[in-house]
Structure 1
């Protein structure tokens, strides 16, 4: 690989700049020599040949655009000379074999997790407080204020300032000198040691704006999503606050839980405000029942579990022109390792699979899954077109600025997160992962809505690649933030957990980084490493209302 540029696939007719390149720089590639027609910024692409209007542009071996004006060899590929284009797809014969990577290094490896009655294993142990409808958000926030500090779950990054020490000493008549000398810093470790329930990693409060006043289908979807969170292996139990008259009825939630886990046995406390004597009594009962639930949750401790119990969500956001070259394929290799070890991985964000549908269809193990994937993709695309949009509108201004100029280009790189293994199952939004191997899950391209959906389908850890940086996290599944480039890792090291930029600079390969990533995932799953999104309490939760979200 040249230190300056890269051809990703042998069929590509454009090259990717790995670092800034000046006009008139002479490119030498496979017997061709030509000067750049303009400055090319790192992450962007330039023409390997001359293009006429309408000529296809290929990257990752896939159609990612068409020329809308003549493009000279050595000229930058931009939104001014290329428009989105993608290949059509059809369900045909499916691939039946796959060569798995070498997993001998992890043959006897385990992670320390929380074993659940349904056979799943959590990488964390959380209690949930959930409103059935937005009317209960205020009461959920009252519970948050009431419970967190009292039980030792103060918001903590690396430390917090304990002003109660100053208040206490002031009331005792302390002098200004004494107040200045008072120790008021509490570290994260101090806080954890003071928890009433040390085996409970957190109490998570999932407020939202749904449950009523919307399409009944949205309410049903919300109930299914909440059921997915309650049955997620990282959840020990939940307190549910219902008003009583909302569209998102408790009976719909209970049916959704039973569908996912017919023998559901986690502690679940459901309270209805309209049946309570008063709001005060309602809150009082919620606090007491939550406390009793936490007592039960605290009885569960970490124990060894095989790596086949990992359910890894594959996510990206704030992507750049390096994402599909470093972070995504490294994650894809780790995905292949987990699949080979008997675990499950989940590739989401269907708008960002536009242009690579045929590859994924061919990798589906059954015709039924291939047809389901194609059907969902066509329906999603048609709905976007019907409201005057389309998948071609997916790339954000940040994506375009950093080299991802068409949705098909973005998608071809995003799909690399799914590695090369066969597709074992195709899931619609909120459907639960039940098969080991690679799963495809329909979620929107919106980072938080998609990550929310991954946890709702049962992921117990999520790997999230980024080239521009994003603080997105999840309330129940630890989110590992992966950087595609060294500069981002240095600039936003407070939110980045794992750097793959060394693939770009040549110190590492996709394989070595993928193996290193799996080791890191095991440490996170065991509670030995705490990702930044968890430490910073980036508990993002946005249910998808099944509208067009690109």
Structure 2
């Protein structure tokens, strides 16, 4: 304790505690970083013991936000995670809050390396298993759904009416079927099928139609659309044991007649699908989608690296994991190319980044328009900072393949899919590509679902986990609190993935979410 005189209408002796060490209230992520991340609200005027001496907090620093470790002049590059996250736009003093008012984007220039990281994931000594539905093409489903795929928005309401006939207690008669889901969307006509947007939509619809979690399929159209029912079914590479029916509203006699006929078709499918049973299969059969949304300053410190460790554990089992959200790896793509198994794989990622530059510029924007207002409120300032945290979901395994949106994922190991950062569109692409389980990290609080694939939502901090307990599956906040580790939480996520794959309901499934989160990426002119 430090004793000193204080004066207030007289003189008296008081005591004041020594300043707390910065490391007790903030995290320094890498040696050489210019900022630390506050683990509690830091009040203006508070004195803390920094590595180079006592410093006073200049302005309030909210939990999850950045505090400067040293004086930084205007124009100085600012480092976090050992990487540049932007430049100072004003003089910054040690102890200041570092955010949008004094930190801006920096030009991203990287000397890309391919396959230089030298990472190797050793195959697991113990083969882990889950209880899944083995399909005729060798793939394994984690759920057993009837899917109603709509070829056009004109059939969307009818598809929902049919699916609504099978909600509630009626499904108790089919305990081995997970439900009936209407995969309705906002397109399918006025869009040239051969165009880039038309190809993406068809790839997405066909991806869901052939998904291993779909045991029964009804393809429903209006009858005069550009992307017709017969187009979607032509040469469809569905498992041979998928029950497939087709129907158009015009041929069937209108909405009421189609709902009656569709209901009978689905009821017949349910009887047959209920005869199927889960069986023990190796974890190598899993395809795990890796996504995040509503990120905060803790995302790259807790949930994302913990999910990255779980990804590595799955890769060690021979499984497939798929990172996505191309605009949210921008600025950190050099870390992924170093892990590419070949120059071709790394270049494919860079080609998708280049495509995005052209795409957003044509729309009058830039890739650094991200982060969102919610991300910024949570402590993320630039897309460079956000991306460095986002790529942590991919762990450390070699990058084996890069896919276009909704392209079927066939290569085992850690892979990447080109998707937008918008959560439902990104997850729709992952599921269309074959993801049978999705892990979704969130710091601000997401309520996403993803039928027919279960979605595990992973909270980056304990506060949001407790506040939205019914919506969250896992809490990673103990990593910051020091009560657990990234490795231990990663193992917990790994076990939760196996449990969800075996049929345990996720929070989003318990709430029956996922019916409205089927959102294919819409691209191109509509005429």
* TM-score exceeds 0.5: yes
Partner of 2:205: 226
TM-score, structure 2 normalization: 0.91
- Structure 2 residue runs of 5 or longer lacking an equivalent are 1-21
Of stretches 380-389 and 112-121 in structure 1, the one that deviates more from structure 2 is: 380-389
1:538 is paired with a residue whose SS is: coil
Aligned-residue offset at 1:72? 1.4
In structure 1, the partner of 2:290 is 314
CA–CA separation in structure 2 for the residues paired with 1:547 and 1:27: 54
**Contact 1:481 1:498 (C-alpha < 8 Å) held by counterparts:** yes
Query: Is structure 2 residue 502 aligned with structure 1 residue 481?
Result: no
Instruction: Say yes or no: does 1:275 pair with 2:296.
Output: no
Aligned equivalent of 1:132: 151
Q: 1:256 to 1:489 in 2, by over 3 A?
A: farther
- Checking the alignment, whether the CA contact within 8 Å between 2:147 and 2:182 is kept in structure 1 is yes
Measured against aligned partners, the alpha-carbon deviations of 1:3-38 in whole angstroms (never above 9, x if no partner) come to 311111223211111111223333434444422222
Q: Where does 1:372-411 land on structure 2 (aligned, <5 Å)?
A: 372-411=348-387
Other-structure match for 2:227: 248
* CA distance in structure 1 between the aligned counterparts of 2:434 and 2:452, rounded to whole angstroms: 10
User: What corresponds to 1:542 in structure 2?
Assistant: 519
TM-score of the two chains, using structure 1 as the length reference? 0.87
Q: Is the 8 A contact 2:321 2:413 kept in 1?
A: yes
RMSD over aligned CA atoms reads: 2.0
Q: CA deviation at 1:90?
A: 5.0
Give the C-alpha shift of residue 249 in structure 1: 2.2
User: Equivalents in 2 of 1:391, 1:444: separation in Å?
Assistant: 11
Q: 1:47 aligns with which of 47, 55, 68?
A: 68
Match of 1:120 in 2: 139
3-state secondary structure, aligned to 1:34: strand
Task: After the TM superposition, list the runs of 4 or more consecutive aligned residues in structure 1 that deviate by more than 6 angstroms.
Answer: none
1:354 aligns with 330
Residues 425 and 256 of structure 1: CA distance in aligned 2, closer, same or farther (over 3 Å): farther
Q: CA deviation at 1:322?
A: 0.7
| Aligned 8 A contact 1:132 1:250 in 2 | yes
Secondary structure at the residue paired with 1:2? Answer: helix
- Residue 238 (structure 1) shift: 0.9
Q: 1:225: Cα distance to partner?
A: 0.5
How many Å separate the matches in 2 of 1:255 and 1:348? 28
Matches of 1:454 and 1:113, distance apart in 2: 19
Q: Distance in 2 between matches of 1:435 and 1:253?
A: 24
**Residue 63 of structure 1 contacts residue 87 of structure 1 at CA under 8 Å; is this kept in 2?**
no
Give the secondary structure class of the aligned counterpart of 2:236. helix
1:16 counterpart residue number: 37
**Whole-angstrom CA distance in 1 between matches of 2:306 and 2:24:** 19
1:152 aligned residue: 170
Residue deviations 1:281-332, cap 9 Å, x none? 4333322222222222222111001011111111111111111110111000
**For 1:359 and 1:546, how far apart are their aligned partners in 2?**
29
Preserved contact between residue 113 and residue 123 of structure 1 (Cα < 8 Å)? yes
Q: What is the Cα deviation at residue 211 of structure 1? A: 0.4
2:115·2:338 contact (CA, 8 Å) conserved in 1?
A: yes
Aligned to 2:104: 83
Residue deviations 1:56-106 (CA, integer Å, cap 9, x gap)? 1111122211111111122111111111225324554323732437844xx
My pick for the range that moved more, 449-458 or 270-279, is 270-279
Distance 2:523 2:116 in 1: 31
